[in-house]
Amino acid sequence: MSAAMAGGTKLLALLLLLHIAVLSSGVQLEDLEEAADLGSVVELTGESIETTISKHDYILVDFYAPWCKFCQSLSPQLDQAAPLLADGEPPIVVAKINADKYRSAVEKYDISVYPTLKFFANGYPTDYDGPHSAHALVTHVRRLTAPAIVVYTSESRFRDFLDTHGSELPIFVGFGLEASVLEKLAHKYRNKAWFAVLGEYSEKAHENFQFDERHALVVLRGVNEVQDVFYGPFEGPDLANFVKRNLPALVTPVNFDSLKFLTEDGRPNVVTVLDSNSSVEADAFIKKMRVAAKENRDFIFSSIVASEWPKFVRPFALGRKPVLPTVIIWNKKLYAKNDKVDAFVGDKMESSLSELLQGYRENTIKLHEVKAPTFYEKATENTTQMLQAIALLVVLFFQWFRKNKEHAAALREETPARAEPNAPAPGFVDASSADSHKED
């Protein structure tokens, strides 16, 4: 037997043993194929999208276009989220498809903007409109696989639930309430919040979660932060309004993910503008704003670091070098601010904020129109990209110029030298020249 045949026989034997091992372990070959999809972002095509969706119970699909800058920003976030979603229970697959190339997918799933994220549960799609940062995305997608409302009969099990669900989403907990009281709202906001009820609880719960009546709806942000408490009535518009106004955090960071949510809320937005979010002073300022947010629920509160998104801050005419922190009240195309540049610095913060809120409510404070960007600002808002484009054009020009120069030189070498107008043609002997030679 030749060495090649012996090697082939050994390979077949190994494959047979592997197949027997897989079968004996109870693992199907299809399971191994599915496992290959977990932990990384799967690239789909127009032919594979349907089979991949039908193969997995839960899958998040990114419909993207290669030229879309928002798609380019989302891609690394999905790379980070994929292994986290794969490791959970139930496992969730992350996939993407070039919708600009595979137009049939665009038509079937009604894709009109890029990127569009759709979450498929047992083949049925739901639009995902939550945040795009990796860890927040994982929390929001996990929410879509859980029941709309969870009923707990054990305080320890409820504590376990709190420990594992973080603070990305608010947790509405009905103490002493029936699940039916919150069921409708839980289905309506299942992709924006967690809902749970705890029928029986110890007296310690009153102290831990800061409520003092038998029946209460408590809003939590993580394990220890109580955002708000509601004592009824547990029906009608009062309950619905309480839930809606507590969907955002007491002070929500302004970013691309949250801006749509903040503007659609409908309440005037009290925006804190900071020079940093990592200093002791900034932390103390935000704590005071949280207290104010609890006491002024007719407003929604948010914060932003000016240097992180100057394009957002610029229309409020704070000046080139504003004294920060400062506070503005923004409502669609109008905003209000305190005209004193240092109104929110130091001990003046509480009184200045109270004066601003009261003046806005009573319409005694001047409202300004949101400042449209000037022509210069529009022209220079993407300076870095513009300079990069100019540099690229310069490089391309010199490449084109050098290539054409080399091409022209090559043509000159290949073309025979042309006779000068008065020079004799090759092989021609001038008669006068010939006679002179004869005389010599």
Q: Taking the CA atoms of the chain, what radius of gyration do you get in angstroms?
A: 35
- Cα separation, 323 vs 300, in Å, equals 23
Please report which helix (H) or strand (E) contains residue 67, including its range. none
Provide the token pair at 373.
């960007």
- Cα separation, 175 vs 211, in Å, equals 9
Question: End-to-end distance of the chain based on CA atoms, in angstroms?
Answer: 95
Provide the token pair at 127.
């639009």
Angle at alpha carbon of residue 402, lines to 400 and 407, rounded to 5°: 95
- Cα separation, 428 vs 229, in Å, equals 113
Q: What are phi and psi for residue 158, nearest 5 degrees?
A: -65, -40
| 68 in active site | yes
User: What distances in angstroms separate CA 151 from CA 122, 155, 158, 191, one per listed residue?
Assistant: 24, 11, 9, 18
User: Which residues, including other chains, have CB under 8 Å from residue 268's CB and lie 6 or more apart?
Assistant: 298, 299, 300, 329, 330, 331, 360
- Cα separation, 336 vs 218, in Å, equals 33
- Cα separation, 95 vs 71, in Å, equals 13
Provide the token pair at 335.
């905003």
Q: CB count, 10 Å around CB of 286?
A: 19
Angle between helices 134-145 and 69-87 (to 10 degrees): 60
Please report which helix (H) or strand (E) contains residue 120, including its range. strand 116-121
| 71 in active site | yes
Q: What are phi and psi for residue 335, nearest 5 degrees?
A: -150, 160
Angle between helices 236-245 and 179-188 (to 10 degrees): 50
- Cα separation, 117 vs 126, in Å, equals 9
Query: Out of 44, 71, 81, 99, which one is annotated catalytic?
Result: 71
Q: Which of 247, 286, 10, 255 is nearest to 143 (CA)?
A: 247
Query: Out of 22, 38, 68, 86, which one is annotated catalytic?
Result: 68
Contact 354, 327 (CB under 8 A): no
**Residue spans of beta strands (DSSP E) within 339-404:** 368-369
Catalytic residues: 68, 71
